[in-house]
Amino acid sequence: MTFEDTDFRQELLDLKNPLDIKLLKTFLNSLGFDYKPEDVEITMIIYNLNNEIVGTGSLNGNTLKYVIVAPEFRDSTAFPLIVTYLADKALEKHKQCFVYTKPDTAKLFQALGYSLIATAEPLFSVLEFGYKTIKDYQHHLKKQKVKTTTTNIASIVVNCNPFTIGHRYLIEKASEENELVYLFVVSENLSAFPFEIRWKLIEEGIAHLKNVKMLATGPYIVSGAIFPNYFLKHESWSLISEKQAEIDVNIFVEYIAPVLNIKKRYIGCEAYCETTAAYNTAMHKILPKHNIEVIECERISANKDFCKNDYISASKIRDAIKKDTLKDVLTSLPECTKNFLLSEDSAEIRLKIKQRNGRH
């Protein structure tokens, strides 16, 4: 059966209306998907003239989610219709939009003109579309590239939420052992401390290291796109985070390391956070294959007599802020962070951390 566009009616869902949510949940559940309205900002839906649901799609920031067409309408134009609508909306506010999907459905998006960035078989592919692409980011990196003849170039990726002496130790170590260090600071604002503040504190804290070049990660390293686990119900959580990490590391080796000639990546060893541990595993697995050495450093302790659970961690600092025990962890903080946290400038952030329940 073929359908003309005019047979379709598109509507935005009212995400505050429980009836609308229920309608969509029923539709998606019947196809084997879980729908979480809190995951998305807008949801659109397509009906035909008989009021049957043809398909749906949602948007969270610049990421397309829940793009699903009912099987009996898959030979119609519903899919491009949904994707066009969502891309329109996303590009109003953002320079590009992303899709996380399974590698076999990635082809459908590619056929529409989305370009594939990376794949982690058999679970994930990332695609993008818009005014800016990863090539523009590479171009940006080339402009920032430090002119040098050495091949002894290392990199670190940090979030520094907030900057501790543990971070400083890792950066100092890399700075000593290499002639040039690229320090990537996660620029997405999903952390308690906003990017500008994290950047400023790091800048102050490592001002004495002349061979460290700071760079913003853009949307391509440690991307904040939430795990699209809704279509992966049957996969284990550890496999999902492993593959998510693989995507990230693949992007790093394919697009970023070659541009900047990076030969080493320094990481802190991870004892408590599963997601970060999955990243480290992925790095050990993939980076050496591309001639990038992974150097995992033990975490340091604020006290001289080191015991195993006493390492410094930014999450402990956030915990302390939450519990109002900041003065106990002051020894883990460099001057710049200490001054910032004790000053009035950070009052708003501290309040926000106290009210939050999440870990980041």
Partner 1 sequence: MKIIKKAQSGSFESSDIIVLIEPVVEKSGRNIEIDSSVMLEFGDAIAKLILDKLDEYNITDIHLIVKDKGALEPTINARLETAIMRACDLQKGTL
Is 37 within 8 Å of 18 (Cβ atoms)? Answer: no
Q: Is there binding between residue 80 and partner 1 (CB under 8 A)?
A: yes
Give CA–CA dist 70/54, Å, rounded: 6
Q: Is there binding between residue 201 and partner 1 (CB under 8 A)?
A: no
Give me the least distance between CB of 10 and partner 1, in Å please.
Answer: 12
Q: Is there binding between residue 212 and partner 1 (CB under 8 A)?
A: no
Q: Is there binding between residue 75 and partner 1 (CB under 8 A)?
A: no
Give CA–CA dist 113/96, Å, rounded: 13
Give me the least distance between CB of 104 and partner 1, in Å please.
Answer: 19
Q: Which ranges in the chain belong to alpha helices (H)? A: 18-30, 78-93, 103-111, 134-144, 165-177, 195-205, 237-251, 257-260, 274-286, 314-323, 335-342, 347-355
Give me the least distance between CB of 108 and partner 1, in Å please.
Answer: 10
**Cα–Cα distance list, 159 to 40, 123, 203, 302 (Å):** 24, 26, 13, 20
Query: Which of 1, 71, 131, 304 forms a contact with partner 1 (CB under 8 A)?
Result: 131
Query: Which of 113, 122, 258, 288 forms a contact with partner 1 (CB under 8 A)?
Result: 113
Q: Is there binding between residue 84 and partner 1 (CB under 8 A)?
A: yes
What residues between 1 and 40 interact with partner 1 by CB under 8 A? 5
Strand 180-185: give its sheet, edge to edge.
212-216, 180-185, 153-158, 264-268, 293-297
Query: Which of 53, 70, 81, 97 forms a contact with partner 1 (CB under 8 A)?
Result: 81
Give CA–CA dist 202/171, Å, rounded: 10
Task: Give the nearer residue to partner 1 in terms of CB position, either 128 or 242.
Answer: 128
- Amino acid at residue number 168: R
Q: Three-state SS string across 209-244, please?
A: CCCEEEEECCCCCCCCCCCCHHHCCCCCHHHHHHHH
Task: Give the nearer residue to partner 1 in terms of CB position, either 77 or 346.
Answer: 77
- Amino acid at residue number 161: N
Q: Is there binding between residue 87 and partner 1 (CB under 8 A)?
A: yes
Q: Kindly state the number of chain residues that form the binding site for partner 1, as judged by CB under 8 A.
A: 15
Query: Which of 45, 83, 117, 321 forms a contact with partner 1 (CB under 8 A)?
Result: 83
Q: Is there binding between residue 116 and partner 1 (CB under 8 A)?
A: no
Query: Which of 63, 77, 187, 313 forms a contact with partner 1 (CB under 8 A)?
Result: 77
Only one of the segments 56-64, 123-131, 153-161, 310-318 lies at the binding site for partner 1 (rule: CB under 8 A); that segment is 123-131
Give me the least distance between CB of 86 and partner 1, in Å please.
Answer: 10
Q: Is there binding between residue 130 and partner 1 (CB under 8 A)?
A: yes
Query: Which of 91, 209, 216, 326 forms a contact with partner 1 (CB under 8 A)?
Result: 91
Classify each residue of 183-197 as buried b or exposed e, where b means 16 or more C-beta atoms within 10 Å of its C-beta.
bbbbbbeebbbebeb
- Amino acid at residue number 95: K
Give CA–CA dist 126/101, Å, rounded: 7
Q: Is there binding between residue 101 and partner 1 (CB under 8 A)?
A: no
**Length of the chain, in residues:** 360
Residues forming the site for partner 1 (CB under 8 A):
5, 77, 80-81, 83-84, 87-88, 91, 111-113, 129-131
